Structure 1
Amino acid sequence: MVSAVSMFGRIIIMVIKDMVQQLLENIDHLVVIQELV
């Protein structure tokens, strides 16, 4: 049980990290677009 929960937690953390990275990249692109405009 503990190992399964820990693995599930790791997967959630990985997904959250990926989402955060994508959000940061999107924000960077928006900032660049605003600077160009």
Structure 2
Amino acid sequence: EDMFHLPDFSTLTERGIREVLKEIRVPTCKSNPFQP
């Protein structure tokens, strides 16, 4: 179970972080292009 949970969690986390970064980066870049 651990072996199966590790990859699943990694993939879900990576996808979630990528989506969040994209959503936050778009408005942040438009509002504050100087801040990351």
Q: Same fold by TM-score, threshold 0.5 exceeded?
A: yes
- Specify which structure has the bigger relative contact order, considering alpha-carbon pairs within 8 angstroms and separated by 6 or more residues: 2
Gapped regions of structure 1 (runs ≥ 5): none
The number of residue pairs the alignment matches comes to 32
TM-score (norm 1): 0.63
TM-score normalized with structure 2 length: 0.64
CA apart distance, 1:24: 0.6
Give runs of ≥4 in structure 1 deviating > 6 Å.
none
Larger relative helix fraction: 1
Cα RMSD over matched residues?
A: 1.5
Identity %: 6
